[in-house]
Chain A
């Protein structure tokens, strides 16, 4: 038994190192976008695979059915089963597609946008048609994403079928913690409406995400891009009577729109420069273009930066990350699915998919690396100081996404994609355990008010699944997160670039912080003596779904409102089943498919373009980590860092919990260090910065313009001109005063003028 395990471990390390080495060998000598693009195999049109379209249609059908369930007020779990069924079939289709597709294929579904005016003008026809059809581009990168998006969606829908039960029984959300609002809520309760609405949103999300990943052109990617944004808006604002949820939803959508603007502008530029928006054609165009493409003026070089803006918005990177922590207002399955596992990785997908464009400017990838590295660090520091476990997970998501961008930036798209894949499983598992805790403890999420869960009967599954997730997130050796994170860390030292060494150390330090805050949660919540307080409605506006639990507690006799007779209800089959599947997946994601598998998936797609561009195998610019080969030494260093972080967490949060409070108190007590915990707990005041620097000026400008519009443009100009006739009339009014003398004077004056004019004309004529 033990030997088997050891063998497994050894082979895993071998597989992972193989993957890393494979990554280096793959792009040998590839230096430019053109070379990179040439390496991408042209896609084959595959009409026989048209059934793959059902991967998109099934979620749409499910969304429509759930919508109808909401409209007809269907009670029961019908919407959940429809969703789980449709997504389950879609998952099977994804696996079938994986079996059928080898190289890139395109599958045309139907015409969407196709303008062609080349017949009306002479000459060059490039750039005279705009084609973006509903078509699929399936290559290994697509499949890599689809293989976790759809199955995870199915699992989480299954989980939600139990989790969202309270919404099935009583209608729309009350929330807002204010019972007065509930009382005035004169609208009839619509049984099951919320439940169906939830699943409609999830289905819609799966459709949009699949379109984003599978689309064969940038416009379809944009469709999915905005579509997931809308689904996310709908689901964050699921508890729509709660102002904080509405605000969070709005914030998410608008922040994303800023990113979307970048993506849209990039799409325009790509079309302007390359005359197409379809990936396959684009790769061909890039391959055929002359090699000095990289100096094609700003309109070419701006492309990667605009794409980056889009990616940073969707994947919550600096400076656009502030929406993601607030997005935790949504129900927890949504947080797990959309805001941890799938949607937020769309930015990574975008960059991986359009990797050849990122070689158009030499500063593009370093920018990605720096933004990723700094975001990872900043979010980790914020995560350390939060008390809400869901929020800690949210900041950890931001931080891990930063790692992925760092990976992309230091030219290991393999590492980035690998981390996306593993992160999807372990972060989903972590969120779902948080959700289960929240579900069972009436919305309690404060890690100071929960302790020793693993000793409570019925909570063992949750506790150990959480442990599995934490181990992966912390990067403890031989978990999936360990291998994927190492691939990124090592590459940061290997690839030469501006400050990459520094980023490598920063990332290493961040990895230590990650291990610390992750196990801070686990040691606090799951270990230690048994102690818990249930959440309550007035628990605070920042948390998700207290409302329903409060009501639940009030109506169900077995739920008292007080801690001493409060019995947490342990999760049942659906939740536990999903948790176990995810935990197993998270822990062994590296054994079954292995790093080599992910590597092969990435290297056969556009994400492999130009990776790595340093040709380090020849020894030239091979970076090092303190004189050692990073790929070798990183396995030991990062393991040490992770264990150190866990040890510190264990000291402060398991063995000597008072020490943590003492430390905080002493930091706060000292004027010189007070700023540190304050700033960290207040999220470095980034939100406030946005309000003061962007929102307030625009709001003032809006008021100013509204004022100007009313009083200057409309009032002074328009009404002023309109008043002119009246003013003129007033001016001449005295003339018509009926006094004879006045008329006589006017007449005489008129005659005089006429005479003067005649004389003047006569003189002019005479002069000529």
Chain B
């Protein structure tokens, strides 16, 4: 029930908002989103699966039981972390839209809340069909949010966004149905618990994710897994988005209203990475091992390619959108490192990117509300007029650049070190197929990332003040107004008193010159989270450790490869020395001697020797 409430609360709130009087609609939505946040936080407090690889909050309601379809819910720690992210962003989006959206606001807030429900549904689903329904349903609210409330080019953006991602996810559905079909076939032809009497009926179909995952990872042939992986990638890579299927994103981001961009970057892109984490990694390990280098290459191209494109953007929102492509390249790269470091980093990246990029979109939205432009060439030195905004802009840019001490650093660090370590004879105990050859070019993205983001800061926040739109008015008048504003503020000793002069020209804008308390209130939670996760990433890494290792269980080094002598030399880990590198303490020098071949050469398309039960499973197919 608790799990169901995570979906039902926003859904009910959405309906309530849709029927509420326009005047109070936004408050209904605000209350709904706050209730969702409160419920999310309480649920997470009592969540039983932190730190373990188990699923909690499980619930199952038969829906079309004869077809094996249930409304099965459940969350592991990674899902829960993303649900919390969604819960935190939702009220911020609602409050962030108070002044931005003034027409058709009931619908707007209703769609926002419906989106929250769908996203929570994706993270909670333990049934394939339910997962797919929620996954596709996320498109609908966002489609309307972009199409109705978007910028000039909104029609094209919304249609492209919808068709592109919809096409991709249809293929994903096909892939997942294929797995379910193979499963039913395996039962039909005398698989485990097979019942010949039931052959030819639908009663041995199931869409339970756990069952199908185990089945697919153990019983499908590598070639069949390859097909499934491609189907999964078709949906999830578009959603992430990976190069070269990223082109819908800049368009959608640019045209979406602020809250739409925030949710798009904050949680919707994470549906793709979450899908890869939840399905691709555990379901088709043999195919993943084969194709990981190719996917990694796409990630690296994406990182560098999008970063270079960012550099030459004039549209600030498009710049941040491309930066998402670049950043999520790191995220997926970490995922396909196939070791705990990389995957931990990847999950952290999902959350951290959700915080810092969301905040950047909020900040850009705040400027857009005031000056109605996203063109970086038309603005300059806004930090002078909006120092509070400037502070947050610098702060979140630094979080995005990956300044240590803020959240972005840890995830980037983990993703890269995970990739680095993902060699076939990795000391991490998880033989991977990447390695330094992949990590080095990706790491160049660190430099490029700093480059384009600082160039953005230099153009927009710093430099001589140039306020967009003001040059269109009479220069003399503007100067006069500005100067009188200056004097007024100087006389009153407060900045906000003079702002009416400056902002007065914009008919629609009733906002103060610098950020209003409401806007600061939106940014502060995000900033606090960035700092907290920057200095205490353990909150998340400890919580999701179990899930990560459970997901990676297919990739762990087989037991036989570990020399027994080393094992015996190792003292059993006690809670006290858990944080000390035990191998280094061990008297056996062999345990820590560098492995010369550890990073030897390129490992493109090479398959490490793994003792997966491939051969045993293949007989059924």
Contact = CB atoms under 8 A, between A and B. Distances in A.
Interface string A124-148: 1111111101100000000000000
B482 A183 contact: yes
B462 A172 contact: no
A65 B582 CA distance: 41
A118 B566 CA distance: 13
A632 interface: no
A112 interface: yes
Contacts of B163: 722
A709 B482 contact: no
Interface residues of A, number: 102
A456 interface: no
Interface string A177-211: 01001011111111101000000000000000000
B493 interface: yes
B607 interface: no
Interface stretch (A160-168, A267-275, A335-343): A267-275
A442 to B, nearest CB: 21
Interface string A249-276: 1100110011011001101110111111
A669 interface: no
A307 to B, nearest CB: 15
B385 A187 contact: yes
A199 to B, nearest CB: 15
A124 B413 contact: no
B579 A187 contact: no
A125 B570 contact: yes
Given A126-B584, A241-B462, A268-B439, A191 B309 contact: no
B227 interface: no
B444 A261 contact: yes
A714 interface: yes
Nearest to A126: B583
B486 A188 contact: yes
A705 B573 contact: no
Given A121-B429, A289-B593, A281 B584 contact: yes
B581 A299 contact: no
A176 interface: yes
B403 A230 contact: yes
Contact of B312 (A183, A186, A246, A699): A699
B495 to A, nearest CB: 4
B528 to A, nearest CB: 13
Query: Interface majority SS on B: helix, strand, loop or mixed?
Result: helix
Given A184-B479, A254-B450, A227 B404 contact: yes
A200 to B, nearest CB: 10
B405 A223 contact: yes
B594 A702 contact: no
Interface in A693-710: 698-699, 701-703, 705-706, 709
A560 B483 CA distance: 25
A185 B562 CA distance: 68
B188 interface: no
Contacts of B193: none
Contacts of A621: none
Nearest to B311: A702
A213 to B, nearest CB: 15
Contacts of A273: 594-595, 598
Nearest to B430: A121
A326 interface: no
Contacts of A172: 384, 387
A187 B501 CA distance: 10
B467 interface: yes
Contacts of B593: 289-290, 293
Interface string A275-317: 1101001001100111001011111100000000000000000
Interface stretch (B80-88, B94-102, B534-542): B534-542
A663 interface: no
B545 A713 contact: no
B594 A186 contact: no
Contacts of B447: 254, 257-258, 261
A114 interface: yes
Interface string B572-614: 0100001111111111010111111111100000000000000
B596 A297 contact: yes
Given A181-B465, A187-B386, A241-B381, A124 B562 contact: yes
Given A185-B384, A275-B584, A115 B344 contact: yes
Interface string A623-659: 0000000000000000000000000000000000000
A219 interface: yes
Nearest to B488: A188
B308 interface: yes
Interface stretch (B194-202, B275-283, B415-423): B415-423
B23 to A, nearest CB: 34
Interface residues of B, number: 124
Given A260-B446, A288-B592, A299-B599, A272 B398 contact: no
A219 B413 contact: yes
A718 B501 CA distance: 47
Interface in B426-447: 426-430, 436, 439-440, 443-444, 446-447
Nearest to B494: A188
Interface string A45-72: 0000000000000000000000000110
B596 A123 contact: no
B309 to A, nearest CB: 5
Contacts of B570: 124-125
B81 to A, nearest CB: 16
A718 B238 CA distance: 12
Nearest to B600: A297
A111 interface: yes
Interface stretch (B33-41, B262-270, B363-371, B553-561): B553-561
Given A122-B562, A241-B463, A288-B589, A193 B427 contact: no
Nearest to A187: B385
Contact of B440 (A129, A185, A246, A265): A265
B591 A178 contact: no
Contact of B563 (A124, A133, A187, A271): A124
A702 B312 contact: yes
B454 interface: yes
A120 interface: yes
Contacts of B485: 186, 188
A113 interface: yes
Contacts of B557: 121-123
B611 to A, nearest CB: 12
Contacts of B160: 718, 722
A116 interface: yes
Interface in A355-389: none
Contacts of B591: 124, 126
A713 B404 contact: no
Contacts of B464: 176, 178, 181, 241-243
B181 interface: no
B592 A126 contact: yes
B427 A124 contact: yes
A71 B390 CA distance: 12
16 contacts: A115-B541, A116-B573, A117-B548, A122-B557, A183-B482, A186-B485, A187-B513, A188-B490, A190-B495, A223-B409, A225-B404, A226-B403, A288-B592, A289-B593, A299-B599, A705-B308
Given A124-B429, A127-B421, A225-B404, 9 more contacts: A113-B538, A115-B340, A184-B482, A188-B495, A250-B454, A288-B587, A295-B596, A299-B596, A705-B305
Interface of B: 160, 163-164, 244-245, 247-248, 251, 305, 308-313, 340-341, 344, 381, 383-388, 394, 398, 403-405, 409-410, 413-414, 416-417, 420-421, 426-430, 436, 439-440, 443-444, 446-447, 450-451, 454-455, 457-458, 461-467, 470, 478-479, 481-483, 485-486, 488-490, 493-499, 501-502, 513-514, 535-538, 541, 545, 548-549, 556-557, 559, 561-563, 566-567, 570, 573, 578-587, 589, 591-600
Q: What 6 A-B pairs are tightest by C-beta distance, nearest first? A: A126-B583, A123-B562, A127-B427, A188-B489, A186-B482, A121-B429
